Structure 1
Amino acid sequence: MDKRCVGGYSKRSSAEIIPFLKTWVNLPMAIGFMVLYTKLSNVLSKKALFYTVILPFIAFFGAFGFLLYPLSNYVHPTALADKLLALLGPRFLGPLAIMRIWSFCLFYVMAELWGSVVVSVLFWGFANQITTVEEAKKFYPLFGLGANVALIFSGRTVKYFSNMRKHLGPGVDGWAISLKYMMSIVVVMGLAICGLYWWVNTYVPLPTRSKKKKEKPNMTTMESLKFLASSPYIRDLATLVVAYGISINLVEVTWKSKLKAQFPSPNEYSSFMGDFSTATGIATFTMMLLSQWIFNKYGWGVAAKITPTVLLLSGVGFFSLILFGDPLAPGLMKFGITPLLAAVYVGAMQNIFSKSAKYSLFDPCKEMAYIPLDEDTKVKGKAAIDVVCNPLGKSGGALIQQFMILTFGSLANSTPYLGGVLLVIVGAWLGAARSLDKQFTALRQEEELEKEMERAAVKIPIVSTNGSLESDSSTNTSTETSSPQNV
C-alpha cells in the first residue's frame, strides 16, 4: 500500500480496501474478461487465443515492476483523494482508497485473475483438450502436486528477496529493488510458459479426440451466455464452484475470528498458523497420493462428493462447539481444553481437510468434467465458470457475512444463521454433484459408443477363399470366411 498516505483515514486504507476490491473491482473485471474471452473464442484459433490472453498479463507485471511502481508518486492522485475524503467523510474511505492507489489495486486484481485465467482457463483448458478421462485420473492429481511444490519454491523466493532488503543502505527503496527481481522472474516464467506451449504444439504428437466438434455459428456474447445457462451440465459445474467458494469463505472467516480470540498475541497467532500451514501441506500431499486410488476404485462420482461431505461433517462439529460450548465445557475440561480451543482445533481440521480434498479431488474432478464436452461448450463454459464463478463464490460468501453482520450486529451473533446457510449450500453442492455424475457418465458412454462405431467403420483386411486379401467394412463379417478350413 502507498506509504505516503497521510491522515488517520489514509492509514486505514489497507484494511478497508480489500472488500471493495473483491466485490466491486475483481468481480466486474472477471465478468468483463469472460465476455471478451467468449468473443475472441469465436474468431481466434486455440493457439492464437492462448497467446492473446497470456501476453497482456506478462506485459503488465513487467511494466508494474519497472514503470508503474517507480512512478507511483506521480501517477497516484493522492491530493485529490484527500480532498474528496475530507468532503465526503470516512464512509467513502474504501472507494477513495482504490482511486488513491489505483496502480496497486490493479496489480492486486491482475494477480487474482492470473490464477483464474492462466491456470484454470489456459492450463487446464489445454490439459482437457489433450487428455482422456482415464489419463486424467492418473495425471491430474500429479498436476496439483506440482502446483503445491511450486508454491513452496515461490514462498522461499519471496522470503529471500525480503531478507535481501534488510542489508540495503539507508534511503534505498528495497521494496522497489526486490519487486524488479520478482517481476523479472514472473516475466521470464511467463515467456517460458509460452515457449513450452509452442514446443508442445509443434513437436509433440497430440492425440485427436474422437468426439467431433459440433458445427455452431459464431454467437454474440448474450447468445453465448444464454447457451451456457441453458445447459444443465454447465449449471451443475457452476454450482459446484460457487458452492465451494461460499462454503469455505463462511467457515474460514468464522474460524479465524475464534482463532484470534484464542491467540490474541501476534506471536502465538503466527506460530499456530505456521503449524497449520505445515499440516495443510502434509495432508494435501497425502491426499494427492491417495486420490488416484480413489478415482480408480470408486470413480468420479464418489471423488466429487468427498469434498462437500468433509465440509458438511466438520462444519457440523465446528458450529456445534460454538453454539453448545457451555454445556460441553465440563466434559472438555477433563481433557484440559476449553470450548473455544476445541472449536479452534476442529475448525483447523476442517480447513486442513477441506483444502487438501479441494486440491487433490475437487479440482481434478472439476477439470475431468470438461473432457467429454464438445469444444464450443468446453471453451465458453470453462471461461464462464473458472473466471466468473470463482470470484462470485468468494464475493457471495462475503456478501452473506456482511448481510448477517448488519442484521444481527456482529459475526458472533450471526454464527447460528451462518451454520444454517452452510447446510443449505453444501446440500445444493451434493445435489449438483449427484446430477453431474449421471450426466458425466452418460457423456462418457456416448463417447465410447462413438469410438466403437469409428473402429467398426474401419476397413478390415481378410483372407478370401482364393488366398488373396480383400477389405470388408462390415461389422458382421462371417468368421467362416477367414477360418483355416476355408483357406
Structure 2
Amino acid sequence: MKGQKNIITGAKETVEVRTVCLNTLLLLFLSVSQCVLSNLKDSVILGSHPDGVLAIAAIQVWGLLPGAIAISWLFAQVSSKIGHFRASYFTISGFLVYFLVFAFLLFPNREVLQLDAVGQWIEYTVPGFGKGISCCITHWVVSGFFIIGDLWGSAVIAVIFWGFINTRTAPRHAERQYGFLKIGATASALVAGVMTECFVQREYNSTLCFGATAWEQTLIMQILFVTGLGIASLFFLWILSKGDVENKNVLPKRDDKPRLALRECFATLMQSRYLGGIAVSVVGYAVVFTMSDLVWKHHLRIVYPDPNDLMTHLNRMLWGVGVFSLLGALSSGWLLRRFGWMFVAAAMPYVAAVTGVGLFGSIYFGNELAALCPSEWDVSPVWMVVYTGTVHIIFLKAFKFSLFDVSKELAFTPLESSVQWRGKMAIDGVGSYAGKTGTALLQQMIIVVLGGVMASTVFMGGAVFAMLIGWILSVNQVGHAYQSATRVGSYEVSKEKGKVVTA
C-alpha cells in the first residue's frame, strides 16, 4: 500500500520496494562473483610458484595500481561519450570475455607461454628486489588473471554498481534501504562458499569435455559460474537502466552522462576535507588488509602447497565471512538508528585492531603460545598463525561487506551528484589501489632489506596499528560533518576554500 513502510526492506512505496529488491539481487550476483574470483586468483598465483606471496606483493605495486588507473580512465572516457549505463555494459562484458579466454585458452597453455628467459634476466639484473617481479613476468598469464580478477571489485561493484545506486537514492531513503541492500553482498559469501565447494574436483573427471587435470577442471567450472552470474547481472542492470522500475516521485532523477575527467575527479578530492576523510578510511582498510594478508598467506602457502587444498580452505572461510557479514548487515539499520553513523563506521577499525593483536601476537610469540596448548591439540606455531590469521581475515572481509561499505556509501549520499561520481572514481576507482600499492611497495622494500617475510613482520605489525589510529581519527572527522549535513540537507564542495560546506 502506498505510504506504508515495508517491514523487510524499509521502503515505503511499491515501486521503491521493487527497485530495492532488484538492486539487492544485482549486488548479490556481482558479490558472489567477487568472492569466487578472490579465492580463485589467490589459489592460481600461490599454486603456480613457491614464491607466490612475493609475486602478489609485486603485482600490487606494478600491476594493480596501473590497472586501476587504466580502467578508471577508460570508464571515465567512455561514460562521457556514451553514458554511464552503456559504459557499464561495455566494462562488465569486457571482464567476462577475458575470464573465458583465460580459462579455455591462456591457462591450459600457461607453461608454453611462460617468459622464463625474461624472468631470469630480471632476477639476475635486480637481485633481491627483482625476485617478485621476475615471478610475475615469468608467469604473466596467472599474474594478469590476478590483476583483472582483483579489479572486478573496484571497477564493477564499487564504481559501477554503487555509483548507479548513490545517484538514484535520496539521502532520506538511503539509511533505511542500504542496510537491506547490503544483505545481497553479505549473503554472497554463503552462496559462494556452497557453490564453489560443489565445483572443486578432487580427482580428474574424464566425463567432462574440458580440462587436462582436476585443478584445470575446477578453475574452468568456476569461471563458467562467474560468467553466468555476470550475464544475469547485465540483465538486471538493463532493467534498472531502462527505468522500468523507477519513479521520479520516489527516486531522484540524476544525470546519466556525468562529466568524469579523471583529472577533475582528483581535483575534487583534493579540494574536499570531507572526501579526504572518506579516502583515509578506504586507504586505511587497504593498508591493514594488505599487510595482514601477505603475512597470513605466507604461512598458508606453507600449510597448503596444493592449489585445490588451498581453495578448499578459502572456500570454507566464506562460511564464516557470510555468517558474520550477514549479522552485520541485518543489524546495520538498527545500529545506524540507535547509535548513528559514527558508531557503525568506527566498528571496523576497532575489530581489526582486536583480531590483529591475535595474528601478530601468534607470529611474535608463536612458540610460547604453542607450548601453552594441550599436547593432544598438536598445534605448531605455523598452524597457530594460520588459525589466528583466518579469524582476522574473516572479520576484515565480513565487516567490509557489511558495516564498512554501508557507512562509506552513506557518507557519499549528502553530496551533489557530480561530486559523488568524481569522489567515487578517485577514491574507490584509484585510491584503494594506491593504498594497496604503497603498502606492497613498502613490504617489498622491508622484505629485501631484512631478508624475508618473517623478519619483516615486526615492521608490518607496527604499520598496521599506526594506520588503524589514523583511520579512527578520520572516522571522527567525517562523522561530525555527516551528522551536520544530514540535519541541514546536503553538501557542496567549496572550490574557493577547498573544503566541504553544508548547503
Could you tell me which residue of structure 1 aligns to residue 230 of structure 2?
A: 190
Q: Distance in 2 between matches of 1:403 and 1:445?
A: 47
Question: Are 1:296 and 2:337 matched, yes or no?
Answer: yes
Query: Percentage identity across aligned positions?
Result: 26
Choose 145-154 or 190-199, whichever is displaced more. 145-154
1:80–1:249 Cα change, 3 Å: closer
For each residue in 1:337-377, what CA deviation from the matched residue of structure 2 results, as whole angstroms up to 9, or x when unmatched?
Answer: 98957776555443333332222211111122222222212
Q: Distance in 2 between matches of 1:415 and 1:11?
A: 22
Alignment counterpart, residue 315 of structure 1, candidates 353, 356, 361: 356
Q: CA deviation at 1:306?
A: 0.4
For each residue in 1:457-486, what CA deviation from the matched residue of structure 2 results, as whole angstroms up to 9, or x when unmatched?
Answer: xxxxxxxxxxxxxxxxxxxxxxxxxxxxxx
| Cα contact 2:284–2:468 (8 A) shared by 1 | yes
- Aligned partner of 2:328: which letter? M
Could you tell me which residue of structure 2 aligns to residue 113 of structure 1?
A: 151
Question: Are 1:43 and 2:86 matched, yes or no?
Answer: no
Unaligned runs of 5+ in 1: 2-9, 451-487
1:348–1:191 Cα change, 3 Å: closer
Q: Distance in 1 between matches of 2:225 and 2:491?
A: 47
Q: Distance in 1 between matches of 2:304 and 2:103?
A: 36
Could you tell me which residue of structure 2 aligns to residue 173 of structure 1?
A: 212
1:437–1:410 Cα change, 3 Å: same
Q: Distance in 1 between matches of 2:186 and 2:327?
A: 10
Could you tell me which residue of structure 1 aligns to residue 184 of structure 2?
A: 143
| Cα contact 2:190–2:318 (8 A) shared by 1 | no
For normalisation by structure 1, the TM-score amounts to 0.73
Larger gyration radius, structure 1 or structure 2: 1
Q: Distance in 1 between matches of 2:221 and 2:314?
A: 28
For normalisation by structure 2, the TM-score amounts to 0.71
Q: Distance in 1 between matches of 2:71 and 2:90?
A: 12
Alignment counterpart, residue 396 of structure 2, candidates 332, 341, 354: 354
Choose 300-309 or 380-389, whichever is displaced more. 380-389
For each residue in 1:305-335, what CA deviation from the matched residue of structure 2 results, as whole angstroms up to 9, or x when unmatched?
Answer: 00101122333455456556788899x4699
1:220–1:349 Cα change, 3 Å: closer
1:46–1:87 Cα change, 3 Å: closer
| Cα contact 1:213–1:374 (8 A) shared by 2 | no
Where do residues 445-460 of structure 1 align in structure 2 (5 Å cutoff)?
Answer: 445-447=487-489
Question: Are 1:285 and 2:323 matched, yes or no?
Answer: no
Could you tell me which residue of structure 2 aligns to residue 222 of structure 1?
A: 263
For each residue in 1:426-461, what CA deviation from the matched residue of structure 2 results, as whole angstroms up to 9, or x when unmatched?
Answer: 0110111111112222332233799xxxxxxxxxxx
1:42–1:352 Cα change, 3 Å: same
Choose 357-366 or 405-414, whichever is displaced more. 405-414
Could you tell me which residue of structure 1 aligns to residue 419 of structure 2?
A: 377
1:377–1:165 Cα change, 3 Å: farther
| Cα contact 1:328–1:339 (8 A) shared by 2 | no
Q: CA deviation at 1:90?
A: 7.3
| Cα contact 2:186–2:322 (8 A) shared by 1 | no
Could you tell me which residue of structure 2 aligns to residue 432 of structure 1?
A: 474
Q: CA deviation at 1:33?
A: 1.6
Could you tell me which residue of structure 2 aligns to residue 27 of structure 1?
A: 65
1:260–1:115 Cα change, 3 Å: closer
Q: CA deviation at 1:121?
A: 1.4
In structure 1, the residue corresponding to 2:167 is in which secondary structure?
A: helix
- Aligned partner of 1:436: which letter? V
Could you tell me which residue of structure 2 aligns to residue 467 of structure 1?
A: none
| Cα contact 2:123–2:131 (8 A) shared by 1 | no
| Cα contact 1:17–1:94 (8 A) shared by 2 | yes
Calculate the aligned-residue CA RMSD, in Å.
4.4
- Aligned partner of 2:235: which letter? G
Q: Distance in 2 between matches of 1:356 and 1:13?
A: 28
- Aligned partner of 2:283: which letter? V
In structure 2, the residue corresponding to 1:110 is in which secondary structure?
A: helix
Q: Distance in 2 between matches of 1:411 and 1:347?
A: 15
Q: Distance in 1 between matches of 2:262 and 2:219?
A: 38
Q: Distance in 2 between matches of 1:256 and 1:114?
A: 21
| Cα contact 2:68–2:430 (8 A) shared by 1 | yes
